[in-house]
Amino acid sequence: MKGVGAGVWPAARRFLGRRKGALLRLGGWSLLEAAQTFLGGYCLARALDRGFLAGDTRAGLGWLAVAAGAILLGGPLMRGVFAQLAELVEPLRDALVRRAVDRAMAGALAGRDGGGRDRADGRAVSRLTHQTEIVRDSFAGLVLTARSFFFTAAGALTGLLALAPELLVVVVPPLLLGLAMFLGTLAPMAAAQRAFLDADEALTDRVAALGAGLRDITACGTGAEAAARTRELIDAAARTSRVLARWAAVRTLALGVAGQLPVFLLLAAAPWLLDRGVTAGALMGALAYLVQALLPALHTLMTALGAAGTRLLVVLERFGFEEPAAPEPGASEPAVPEPAVREASVPVQPEPRTPRTPHTPSPRAVPPAVELRSVTLAYGPGAPPVLERLDLAVGRGEHMAVVGPSGIGKSTLTGVVAGLLAPDRGSVLLAGEPVAGRGARDLAALRVLIPQQAYVFTGTVRENLLHLAPDTSAPDLVRAVDALGIDALIGRLGGLEARVEPGTLSQGERQSLALCRAYVSPAPLLILDEATCHLDPVAEARAELALAERPGTLIVVAHRLSSARRAGRVLVLDGTSPAYGTHDELLGRSALYRDLVGHWQSV
């Protein structure tokens, strides 16, 4: 539950703090609403006691006329309330639009949005239109109902006090108890709603991915595995919706306690109240306060807080109020300096991506995870160079894809970066240190290279997984297995202590084990040379996302469009003129990349 809307409150306080005038005027009009409520019950009670029951019909009609006048006041009253409401709601809408535009501009200038995906445009448009309207409507609804409940309750309770203080003894305790129950459900219900939304989104993503990869799934015969993983997500979605339903039941109970119980108690306590001199008119007035004013206001408040309130929090968080130190609504965010996208033949010094370690040294002080300086490599004295004067820098924490036609030199590049192939000219540095002259043990601490033909040896599953990190704790191993989604595979193999015969494993199974081995390894750089080509697209996506989330840098030789799109940056190897940039940028300026994308889309 921690964190639900945590960053929204400071911004909300600042926003409301700057609009004290509008709040006061709104309070003024709302006081009239309290007076209207007060008059409704009070006049009814007096009409009975001093009019009809006392045999004075004219007096009774007079009091009813006053009540009717109070009701007629409702029209101008609501007009005043809505005018003040607009003074609160419209500035909020303007501030959100400004904020969405600022964020979109900052994302566009930085070359991508904050999440590193190429979705800035879609999100920005959604924030500008649909989400802004959700915030505006939900906020207006919340202010309207919260204010209405507060002033209606004030008018009704004052009326009860004026009619007979004993009425408060009967009405107030269940009202407070129900309200406390309701407030108690707010936090867990918001958390349950969030969990439900997350589970629902995960399921939607999975179904979309399954749809896209149906042909591969069928071709690879992995339908059962894909179905099993989807079933887990369906179960999770069902579980979260049951939790949500339980909290909704508690909320309904709270509404019953606060709204219906006072009515019941009032009727049950009628003899006791009459004994204490409470008049029949006062009882009738109290009933009118409960049934006509308090109960509807309470019902509206609970519904609005429960539905619109949660929706408002979630959407405001998506506007970027999730950090407690979020800037003022409307203030432009400091543009996060992203590395300028340049041709790979120009030295590129990307700054570290989102910090994954507690301390982020100044960007200039941190050498890139991988740096190639004018690297040239040919496989023989007379052979044309495969890599020629290649300059490249991959920032720490980056996820980069390498693409290019077959035979262009992708594997050669991974071999050079991994320190397995020595360039004829130029130098290769990992985390600022040259790889040349390092032994196998030294290199293993710096990077893991997983080739297309994954290496699995005869030994237990655990030995295979912990080969590069024997000291991995049991919980860390469980987390890795879970992140890569290979628990079913391990189950099929007979568990972690089962013995593996490499010849009995499929290519995909070997790749899964090798990917998990790389995941737990302490090396800060992972290089995947078509290491997922035997996995179905869903398993590939899960593995790549898990490895990208792992602290460190990820370089993937991509063989599918989806794999290239997942990466923040793409390096297109194109003979002597490589190109480096985001998917969208390369679509604009690399003919080879457009061709590759066209080819991937057609297969």
Ligand X SMILES: Nc1ncnc2c1ncn2[C@@H]1O[C@H](COP(=O)(O)OP(=O)(O)OP(=O)(O)O)[C@@H](O)[C@H]1O
* Shortest distance in whole angstroms from residue 558 CB to ligand X: 11
* Shortest distance in whole angstroms from residue 414 CB to ligand X: 8
Binding site for ligand X (CB under 6 A): 379, 386, 404, 406-412
- Which of 141, 404 has the CB closer to ligand X? 404
* Shortest distance in whole angstroms from residue 402 CB to ligand X: 9
Q: What is the dihedral of CA 254, 258, 260, 266, to 10 degrees?
A: 150
- Which of 269, 596 has the CB closer to ligand X? 596
Q: What is the dihedral of CA 404, 521, 114, 322, to 10 degrees?
A: 160
State whether residue 526 is helix, strand or coil: strand
Q: What does the block give as tokens for 47? A: 């009409």
Q: How many helices (H) and strands (E) does the chain have?
A: 24, 12
- Which of 132, 411 has the CB closer to ligand X? 411
* Shortest distance in whole angstroms from residue 104 CB to ligand X: 37
* Shortest distance in whole angstroms from residue 449 CB to ligand X: 13
Q: Helices 280-288 and 261-268: crossing angle, nearest 10°?
A: 170
- Which of 145, 412 has the CB closer to ligand X? 412
Burial 494-532 (b: 16+ CB within 10 A, else e): eebeeebeeeebeebbbbbbbbbbbbbbebbbbbbbbbb
* Shortest distance in whole angstroms from residue 390 CB to ligand X: 13
> How far is the C-alpha of 480 from the C-alpha of 469, rounded, in Å?
12
> How far is the C-alpha of 414 from the C-alpha of 372, rounded, in Å?
11
- Which of 332, 453 has the CB closer to ligand X? 453
CB 84 within 8 A of CB 90: no
* Shortest distance in whole angstroms from residue 543 CB to ligand X: 19
- Which of 501, 595 has the CB closer to ligand X? 595
- Which of 206, 534 has the CB closer to ligand X? 534
Sheet of strand 433-434, all strands in order from the earlier edge strand to the far edge: 387-394, 370-377, 425-430, 433-434
- Which of 201, 595 has the CB closer to ligand X? 595
CB 347 within 8 A of CB 29: no
* Shortest distance in whole angstroms from residue 221 CB to ligand X: 25
> How far is the C-alpha of 550 from the C-alpha of 292, rounded, in Å?
58
Backbone φ and ψ for 460, nearest 5 degrees, come out as -75, 165
- Which of 138, 590 has the CB closer to ligand X? 590
CB 555 within 8 A of CB 428: no
CB 163 within 8 A of CB 40: no
* Shortest distance in whole angstroms from residue 597 CB to ligand X: 16
Backbone φ and ψ for 55, nearest 5 degrees, come out as 80, 10
